[in-house]
Amino acid sequence: MDELITHEENNATSGKSSFEIDSSEINTEHKRKKIPSVSTALLLGGVLGLVETLLLVSCAKPILDFMGVKADTGMLNPALQYLVLRSLGAPAVLLSLAMQGVFRGLKDTRTPLYATVAGDAINIVLDPIFMFVFHYGVSGAAVAHVISQYFIAAILLCRLRLQVELLPPNLKHLPIGRFLKNGSLLLARVIAATCCVTLSASMAARLGSTQMAAFQICLQIWLASSLLADGLAFAGQVREYLYSFI
């Protein structure tokens, strides 16, 4: 009799546990938001990344020649290898940027931060391994960076699937006109900054490898401070937007 009661209690407990699991799965499904433009933005970012990769791989030498990297400087072969390998990470970069925008729209800035820190940590670990242990040199640095970029994209995609239901892409759900209207000033700023950096890199490349290395160090310091300023500006914009409804 005791065994029968114990068996019934076990059945009831297992039934309750399965019910709780099913309920949690249902609640998880209900918490996922349906935003049609997310899937379309991810598809568009992936396609643009592939196009960018093809252009950089096929036009690597003309691009380097335009940037002032000549064959007699000794930088052509390393720069060519680095550019071709780094271009393979373009789809991951554009996908990551699109997903970071989605997370910011969901008021979640921690996930992109943690993903970026994890990817940078992997890059820091893999850089000396590929460059000095495997003796890949500049190519090893490019491979390590590409791996870290895809790692960041994978983390963001896995986390995004928990918050947003990825629907079939449809360009009708992507308000490109509204994006251009609201972000026209930001787009102009990015284009201006990119043109200035490109021109500066071209002038530094014409001076030689040592000057180019010094320019890259200064560029990384400027980029780090610029990204910190962008983070503060974004937080201020969100706060001002929220207070505008009070």
Contact between 46 and 95 (Cβ < 8 Å): yes
At which residue do the structure tokens 């992507």 appear?
A: 174
Mean pLDDT of 119-129: 96
38-42, 151-155, 186-190, 235-239: segment of lowest average pLDDT: 235-239
pLDDT over threshold 60, residue 182: yes
Per cent of the chain over pLDDT 70 is 76
Count other Cβ atoms within 10 Å, centred on residue 210: 9
Mean pLDDT of 139-167: 94
5 CA to centre of own chain = 56
| CA separation for the pair 164, 36 (Å, rounded) | 9
Contact between 48 and 94 (Cβ < 8 Å): yes
Local structure of 168: helix, strand or coil? coil
pLDDT band at 73 (very low <50, low <70, confident <90, very high): confident
| CA separation for the pair 100, 112 (Å, rounded) | 6
pLDDT over threshold 70, residue 7: no
Count other Cβ atoms within 10 Å, centred on residue 191: 10
More confident residue, 142 or 232: 142
Mean pLDDT of 214-222: 92
pLDDT band at 19 (very low <50, low <70, confident <90, very high): very low
Q: What is the pTM of this model?
A: 0.77
Count other Cβ atoms within 10 Å, centred on residue 47: 13
Q: Which tokens in the block code for residue 98?
A: 């699109």
What separation in angstroms does the CA of 133 have from each of 128, 129, 130?
A: 7, 5, 6
Q: What is the mean pLDDT of the chain?
A: 81
| CA separation for the pair 154, 79 (Å, rounded) | 28
pLDDT over threshold 90, residue 237: no
pLDDT over threshold 90, residue 111: yes
Non-local (6+) Cβ contacts of 85 within 8 A are: 139, 142, 143, 146
